[in-house]
Amino acid sequence: MQIRPYGDTLDDGAVQLSFTLPMSNSEKSREAAKRFVLKHGFKRCEITSAEALADNFTMFVVYAWTKLGIDSSEVKDVVSAAPEIMNFDEVNLFIKEHVKRPIVIVGACTGSDAHTVGIDAIMNMKGYNHHFGLERYPMVRAYNLGAQVENQHLIEYAIKVKADAILVSQIVNQKDMHLENMKEFISFVKDKKVRKQFLLIAGGPHLNHKMAKEAGFDAGFGRGSYAEHVATFVARKLAGKSK
């Protein structure tokens, strides 16, 4: 079935847009903004605001209406690393019963990326948004190495503590540097011939399961993921019961 954006009524195809053009605020720039929007395939549009940001920059708010739709049934290749999530207590119980020992997880934000926010959200005791981090899990031994960690170092550390899983966090996506860094990580793992020893997991706001798999990881977690998503995936994999 074809679906379209819903503004105030079904199938109206209404979209809210905002952008800046490097032009002064004038009739001409408003017309340019309009043509720019229509070039994207919108049937009609309305510029509701044009504000000069500087002599040669104008910010626009535009409403536009599209006839384009998407057949939702054709969206098939979306996969999730852990479709059915266990909560904090369920994961711990599951590990106790099926893995029968604490599992070891090592994580870091690697490469030049200096953002600990992602790895901390997953690993820190406090967690994020009322979801405890892996350090809080009695059945998980978690090592958070922080940010700007060399890929090499993370792998060596994982070998040292006999980790079950390695988490690689990537926040910055400028010029696709997150993908480059992930590729580098995988090639180091392969060089060391330890690929099979670990579950490799990538996470970050610009990642998803599919992208991580394509880069050679076992799983990927995007925006909106919490510790229990990661823990569920690792626990099920280790118990040989991937769901």
Partner 1 sequence: MNKLNLSKQKTKQARKLAGAITRPVQAYIDTHTTISVERTVLRVLGANGMNKEGVPVPNLAVNCLEGKLAKGAARYWVNALLHYDGNLQKLNRAVAKGKDISALEMVSDVKLNKVVRPLLGTFNKQITANVKTRNMMLRRYRKKDDSPLLYLIVATGNIYEDVKQAEAAAHQGADIVAVIRTTAQSLLDYVPCGATIHGFGGTYATQENFRIMREALDKVAHKEKRYIRLVNYASGLCMPEIAAMGALERLDMMLNDSMYGVLFRDINMYRTFVDQHFSRMLTAFADITINTGEDNYLTTADAYQNAHTVLASQFINEGFAGNAGLAPRLMGLGHAFEIDPSLKNSVLYEIAQAQMVREIFPEAPIKYMPPTKFMTGDIFRGYVLNSMFNLVSGMTSQSIHLLGMLTEGILNPFMQDRYLAVKNAQYIMNATADLGREIQFAKHGIIAKRADEVLNKTLTFLERVNKLGLFKSISKGLFADVKRSPKGGKGYAGVLRKDSDYWNPVEDFLQKKLKLK
18 or 24, CB closer to partner 1?
18
219: helix, strand or coil? strand
How far, in Å, CA of 61 to CA of 98, rounded? 55
How far, in Å, CA of 157 to CA of 170, rounded? 18
8 lies in the site for partner 1, by CB under 8 A? yes
How far, in Å, CA of 127 to CA of 33, rounded? 43
61 lies in the site for partner 1, by CB under 8 A? yes
Strand 103-109 with 14-21, pairing: unpaired
Provide the minimum distance between the beta carbon of 201 and partner 1 in the complex, in angstroms, as a whole number.
Answer: 32
63 or 188, CB closer to partner 1?
63
SS3 content of the chain, % helix, strand, coil (to 5): 35, 25, 40
51 or 176, CB closer to partner 1?
51
**Known catalytic residue at 43:** no
63 lies in the site for partner 1, by CB under 8 A? yes
26 lies in the site for partner 1, by CB under 8 A? no
The closest alpha carbon to 201, from 105, 88, 129, belongs to 105
What part of residues 161-200 is at the interface with partner 1 (CB under 8 A)? Answer: none
Q: Which residues bind partner 1 (CB under 8 A)?
A: 6-10, 14, 16, 18, 46-49, 51, 61, 63
Which residues are the active-site residues?
A: 126
